[in-house]
Structure 1
């Protein structure tokens, strides 16, 4: 049978046309495409993004043509589109560090026990955790500031109360461990993309954290210090959340009035109530109101490109 080159070329363009049509109608909605290869069915999830390409096979066409987004998906996409068209809802984003941006790489009680073995620490991790929580929650000094400068005095007290070990070298080993990047991890691995999109949209970003002076080098070691326009650290500001002073200082550093800033943190009292007492335009609880920084950006009216999902056979 003789083939028609013109017809073959037209047929070959069908997947590309379908792809373009789908992208124009639903630019950020996920779909399920079924492809048959060598007699095996492979289900693949792909995102409609600038880098997503529909598999060039005629077997995909029926799946694409039969796919329909749910009403909820359409409404969500429409809300995102309108928000992003209107521009950022706030001029500044304030972000908590420990518990929101960063988390310990390993449980603290485990680290205390592991490092403490050579110093004679024998109590269980459960007891260490219980005693740590008690020691950390106790009133501290007349100024109520736990983190003064490097906070060595405070942490020495907490470590001894948690483990019963007062060996200065044990304290030094623990203190230096938590001053290094290996002790910490980013809670949201895609935070950098969200912060980049926010800053490109004109939003200024600051860290607002109850932390000692180790925070700056930790962020530098993790390679994320450039994500922020300012750092308001309690040990430097001499005020700890929920004191409004630290939030106001962050806004001052950014040159943005507090009513035009939104704060995100994992502690309802320190972060949400503290930010609202400072007059911030809004405050969202991490893990409840928002669970990723891409979601934070979307709520602020800034679109973040979706990370392309890997193909899984």
Structure 2
């Protein structure tokens, strides 16, 4: 079957099952989830996520994935907010054991960016599930599985971009966190970021693949010039580019501790909210959904001109909230 035929069948399947679209003027917030996981010592993950169009964009080209829920486009993902899961309630829900979380920020004209980020959150979990080793103790094999899965999806996006006029030149950033029983694997392509807060210390786990960041690394400009540089939002690496054909360049592989708090976000948030404010809210708000809402509101107050997606994961003990980090 040709690439075009496969994509056409896949796209028809999505549009047939995605459900009604929300009012385009509305913003979407999703309630906290509580997840029973396979982490050691009966650790659990609690998850909160918010994705909004923002004040300036006509469409939300961000998409995200949390396990156990079909990863549909953001504006038909509202079933998480129903069924008794009100904002901030943190109702219990068993998620699948993949413990994979993704944020993707699409780019391209018309609906191309939205399509690229949707493909990322739909296809990466599927491709990764095919490749993850059953042996939980081989970090190198897990990294290779992630790299191969993302590389495969990069080729899918490139193929779609080259065969369907409406999707030409589309691309997306992607940042993911794969939790395994003893570790978490974090990787990113583009400028969506992942952070970890541990014992009050905030650490950025991914690097931005923008031309301005490359100039900083080369010593051509200073880090102080970076926030306002004209190439700050020009990416040299993203999903849907030939340079991403080998998947993520860098991985962070870390042990998981009770009290760890992880943030994954598009640059609509991280471009306007300081690390100090991120650390303050992550450390002081014990409900991950409420923390995501507060960070989103701060980004809007700081005049973010992009879509905003914020996904927060708390590592807790036996389903009970961890103490403040």
Q: For the superposition of Structure 1 and Structure 2, which TM-score range results when normalised by the shorter chain?
A: under 0.3
Q: What is the TM-score when the length of structure 2 is the normalising length?
A: 0.24
Higher helix share: 1
Larger fraction in strand: 2
Higher radius of gyration, 1 or 2: 1
